[in-house]
Amino acid sequence: MSTATGFDVVRADPDRAALEIAHRALQSSIPLDEMLKTRCYELILKLLARRHMQRRTRVDVKKLQANDHD
């Protein structure tokens, strides 16, 4: 995918833990591996997993340990 600036944007593939959390959030009876084989389910899972990964990186453990809240 190209942007207006001409750079190629490559989305990072979510890790297995993020995929499992996204699968749990969907509350689906279909196993995770089966969902990843189907293109439409794969897109939804990866979208939710990437969102989870962004939220996961926002937590600053040192700030939590120091009880320093902005």
Is residue 36 within 8 Å of 42, Cβ to Cβ?
A: yes
Judge whether 44 and 38 are in contact, CB under 8 Å.
Answer: no
pLDDT at 12: 79
Residue 2 has pLDDT above 60, yes or no: no
pLDDT at position 58 is: 73
Q: pLDDT (tens digit, 9 = 90+) per residue, 15-46?
A: 999 999 999 999 999 999 999 999 999 999 99
